[in-house]
Amino acid sequence: MNASKKEFIAEAEELLFESQQLMLEIQETYKTALNPDDVNALFRSMHTIKGLSGLFGHKGLSQFSHALESLLDEIRLGKIEVTDEVIQFLFKNLDILRSVVDLFRDEKEQDVTEHIKQIESFRKSKKGQVHGPGIEDMIDESITKVLSEYEEVRLKANIKGGKGIYLLKAVFDLATFDTSLDKLTKMIKTKGELISTLPTSAAVPEGSIGFNLMFAAGKQLNELKEEMKHEIEVLVPFKQGEPQPEKSQESSLRSITSTVRVDIDKLDRILNTIGELTLAKGAIKRIGSEMTTTYGHSTLVLDVHKISQTLERRLTELQDQVLEIRMVPVGQIFSRLAQVIRRYSKETGKEIDLEMYGEDTELDKHLAEEIVDPLMHLVRNSIDHGIEPVEERISKGKKERGNVVLKAFQKGSHIVIEVTDDGRGIDIEKVRKKAIEKGLLEPDVELGESEVIDFIFIPGFSTKEAVSEMSGRGVGIDVVKEKLSLLGGYIEVHTEKDEGTTFTLTLPSTVTIIKALIVRVGQGRFAVPLTSISETLSIKHKDIQTIEWKEVYYLRGEMLPMLSVGKMLNLETDKKDRSFAVVVGFGEKRLGLLVDELMGQYEIVLKSLGDYLRGLSGFSGAAEIGRHEVILVLDVESFIESVTKQRVVSNV
Amino acid sequence: MYSKSILLVEDSATTRALIRAVIDEMGDFNTVEASSGFEALKLLPTQEFDLVITDINMPDINGLELMNFLKNNQRYSHIPLIIVTTERSEEDRKRGMALGATAYITKPFKADELQEVIKKELQI
């Protein structure tokens, strides 16, 4: 994909996201106080998408957005009234538009001729005629001639509504006018509707700029003058009627932009460079220590230490700043899920109420993109298998509409995302039977509920015989788990019969550079991510007991399963009577990894194993430490799994 | 030295980049980009422009309002103006031409069309 196409898609996606937000706003307000600015902004987004796709020669996209633009144009010009039907129609078509953009990114095209025809006939069926009063006699031509068609329509609508039309003249310093003007327009918007902003250089001193702001308000001139402390002229007097409620202060949707869009690949490269610098920093530190040993504490040596400390601090700052740039609010992916939920609720005929919490919680852009499909899968799963059909819900005494809750929050350096439904819950007995059927579980083994439920994460395991069209698509819930594991996270499930199910996804909120403990096993060295370590211990071999074929150690009275990394990987270990145990995992899923030596804490740049070694179980990646030595990073999750699932993981 | 200076006012970054690429293809121009009408107002006094290319439909102030400002200011009234519009916004295009735009170009446009118009306006 070439650079400009990438930019185009990025811009289109951003505009689609914006449109989605605007639609939600419109849906919420259209009955009571529809803000014409929202409809206009939506029109503008579509207008831009159309312009862009035309320039890109994407005919389908251009024609489709053109049809939508025409529809929105008539809505904003008041020729079509906003109704629930119109809103649903727009939502549906935004979804289609998004899928066309998605396909375009994957170099595919979709035939949208039918959809375009539908929009056209919808527009024609809805179109009515709105007559505004003639404004020619009311307002001076010098003002009306610079109005765009839309602005003219808004002017007419306000006159028709009996509002006063006012002209406010302000003069600002040329260097700082945008902030002063921003303040002023915000104030005007609390009084009424801003119709046009006309810059002027007539009769203003050098180095400054004048603005004539035309606005409509349901107030008398003297009132406004007192409140705004500016020169105001009456163009059309206000017809006193019902007192108008003041609108709340709202920020403009597009202020003067001070942001840039950056390709995530570029940020990846910066992070990589920081990673390399971190290695160089490590080398300087090591050289410093070696110099101390050789030359003692001479001034030069102290200088090296000092500079290495400064370097360390600044590098950490730099890294934090870059990681921060990569953060996006989780609301961005939630709103995409909201779309899916709306669509599926229609397709399945199950009405769903969606609640979202913690949309402002931030996570890395890369992770956000990676996590959206797994979340999509869980949401589909909830609607498809979780939420019962209406009749069943009524017979259970539940409310008719199903409930899906998306919730995100920060937990230390991790982000937690929960998907909760109030459906029928997972049938534990069914899962148990299936596990026995598949030979995964001996019939006479007693397992706790949570252990039974964990079987659904095993590849190929599914309680539904006929894979439904929706959540199916050949993807099981095991894929969700695998994805999370790849991202350095994990998934948990909590279910109550007839109450519902909660999937809890925990994943790091940032990526790429991790702190790790380097351990030695015989001749080999490995990295264990610090985030998964709860503590380290030095233990005697004779304190390790064997219970039911499992090696365990009693840590503060609690049983901790142990696993020898040497045995797992077929490595010759030291012949000593003591070993170190690295305790990894959280909560009930903890495990002690037996190693020969703890070699210290490093910051490592996590790199993937590449296609050749992908699928190698037991390792999540590779990293470079010290003098260009490559070491493997242990995949703690898979180790924990191999012990808690009582399955023998073959030697790698 | 640059032969001519062009102010390009357009709120879509992609459209801006595309127009700029078309201009760059023509030779050594000093193209200054503004992402909004406000930005254009700030950039105008900083140097002499030989041509302004502006979109009509923009947030803050629209292209018509910007043009009105230029045409009523002695310092800028001589600068030729090209408006970039879409085939749908015929009404706004008429208004733009009435306000003193010297040429318009309709999106989607072909590179050589735009280059022709620019050459004509700059008399090169």
Q: Do A568 and A428 share a structural domain? A: no
Residue A90 lies in a domain: yes
* Per-residue pLDDT, A465: 42
Lowest model confidence (mean pLDDT) among A121-130, A546-555, A564-573:
A121-130
Q: Do B65 and A199 touch (CB under 8 A)?
A: yes
Question: Is A47 known to be catalytic?
Answer: yes
Report the alpha-carbon distance of residue B53 to residue B56 in Å, rounded.
Answer: 10
Structure tokens at B61: 């102030």
Residue A136 lies in a domain: no
Residue A649 lies in a domain: no
Q: Are B20 and B14 in contact, with CB atoms under 8 Å apart? A: no
Which pLDDT band holds residue A544 (cuts at 50, 70, 90)? Answer: confident
* Per-residue pLDDT, B6: 93
Angle between helix A365-381 and helix A477-486 axes, rounded to 10 deg: 160
Average pLDDT, chain A: 80
Q: Are A500 and A548 in contact, with CB atoms under 8 Å apart? A: no
Decide if pLDDT at A596 tops 60.
Answer: yes
Decide if pLDDT at A515 tops 90.
Answer: no
* Per-residue pLDDT, B27: 83
* Per-residue pLDDT, A258: 60
Q: Do A618 and A565 share a structural domain? A: yes
Report the alpha-carbon distance of residue A579 to residue A595 in Å, rounded.
Answer: 6
Report the alpha-carbon distance of residue A628 to residue A651 in Å, rounded.
Answer: 27
Within 8 A by CB and 6+ apart from A412, the residues are none
* Per-residue pLDDT, A467: 40
Domains and CATH numbers, chain B: 4-122 (3.40.50.2300)
Which pLDDT band holds residue A519 (cuts at 50, 70, 90)? Answer: very high
Angstrom CA distances, A406 to A338, A365, A379, A387, A498, stand at 9, 19, 9, 15, 19
Q: What total number of domains does chain A contain?
A: 5
* Per-residue pLDDT, A84: 84
* Per-residue pLDDT, A250: 46
Cross-strand partners of A209: A172
Q: Do A398 and A386 share a structural domain? A: yes
Please say whether the dihedral angle defined by the alpha carbons of residues A291, A292, A294 and A297, taken in this order, is positive or negative.
Answer: positive
Residue to mutate among B57, B70, B85, with most A CBs inside 10 A, is B57
Tell me how many degrees the CA angle A471-A476-A481 measures, rounded to the nearest 5: 120
Q: Are A592 and A550 in contact, with CB atoms under 8 Å apart? A: no
Q: Do A488 and A460 share a structural domain? A: yes
CATH code assigned at A166: 3.30.70
Question: What is the percent of chain A with per-residue pLDDT over 90, rounded to a whole number?
Answer: 7
Determine the distance in angstroms separating the CA of B22 from the nearest CA of chain A, rounded to an integer: 12
For chain A, say whether B28 makes contact (Cβ under 8 Å).
no
Report the alpha-carbon distance of residue B96 to residue A277 in Å, rounded.
Answer: 55
Report the alpha-carbon distance of residue B103 to residue B82 in Å, rounded.
Answer: 5
Q: Do A300 and A225 share a structural domain? A: no
The residue type of A132 is: G
Query: Looking at A11, A47, A312, A494, which residue is catalytic?
Result: A47
Q: Do A383 and A504 share a structural domain? A: yes
Query: Looking at A25, A69, A193, A637, which residue is catalytic?
Result: A69
Decide if pLDDT at A209 tops 60.
Answer: yes
Q: End of a domain among A471, A490, A508?
A: A508
Residue A413 CA, chain-centre distance (Å), reads 16
Q: Do A504 and A519 share a structural domain? A: no
Q: In what order do the strands lie in the sheet with A589-595?
A: A533-540, A578-586, A589-595, A558-564, A550-555, A545-547
Q: Do A70 and B88 touch (CB under 8 A)?
A: yes
Between A540 and A134, residue with greater pLDDT: A540
CA dihedral A517, A416, A318, A305 (to 10 degrees): -30
Q: Do A539 and A501 share a structural domain? A: no
CATH code assigned at A442: 3.30.565.10
Residue A260 lies in a domain: no
Residue A241 lies in a domain: no
Which pLDDT band holds residue A594 (cuts at 50, 70, 90)? Answer: very high
Cross-strand partners of A260: none
Q: Do A200 and B15 touch (CB under 8 A)?
A: no
Decide if pLDDT at A177 tops 90.
Answer: no
Q: Do A485 and A560 share a structural domain? A: no
Which pLDDT band holds residue A376 (cuts at 50, 70, 90)? Answer: confident
Report the alpha-carbon distance of residue A287 to residue A40 in Å, rounded.
Answer: 63
Residue A147 lies in a domain: yes
Between A44 and B90, residue with greater pLDDT: A44
Structure tokens at A120: 């056209």
Which pLDDT band holds residue A422 (cuts at 50, 70, 90)? Answer: very high
Residue A402 lies in a domain: yes
The residue type of B83 is: I
CATH code assigned at A69: 1.20.120.160
Q: End of a domain among A65, A95, A126?
A: A126
Between A272 and A647, residue with greater pLDDT: A272
Report the alpha-carbon distance of residue A82 to residue A39 in Å, rounded.
Answer: 10
Q: Can you give the length of chain B in residues?
A: 124
Pairing of strands A352-357, A402-411: parallel
Question: What is the percent of chain A with per-residue pLDDT over 70, rounded to a whole number?
Answer: 87
Q: End of a domain among A325, A343, A365?
A: A325
Q: What is the domain extent for residue A572?
A: 513-644
Q: Do A297 and A344 share a structural domain? A: no
Q: Do A488 and A391 share a structural domain? A: yes
Please give the sequence-ordered ranges of beta strands (E in DSSP) within A499-618, or none if there are none.
500-508, 513-521, 524-529, 533-540, 545-547, 550-555, 558-564, 578-586, 589-595, 597-605
Q: Do A485 and A356 share a structural domain? A: yes
Q: Are B27 and B2 in contact, with CB atoms under 8 Å apart? A: no
Per-residue pLDDT tens digits for A458-486? 777 765 543 443 343 335 677 788 778 77
Decide if pLDDT at A244 tops 60.
Answer: no
Q: Do A147 and B99 touch (CB under 8 A)?
A: no
Mean pLDDT on B86-106: 82
Per-residue pLDDT tens digits for B6-48? 999 998 888 888 888 889 888 888 899 999 888 899 899 888 9
Residue A556 lies in a domain: yes
Residue B88 CA, chain-centre distance (Å), reads 19
Chain B residues in contact with A175 (beta carbon < 8 A) = 42
* Per-residue pLDDT, A444: 80
Q: Are A371 and A505 in contact, with CB atoms under 8 Å apart? A: yes
* Per-residue pLDDT, A612: 60
Per-residue pLDDT tens digits for A86-120? 888 898 899 888 888 888 887 777 788 888 888 88
Question: Is A74 known to be catalytic?
Answer: no
Question: Is A69 known to be catalytic?
Answer: yes
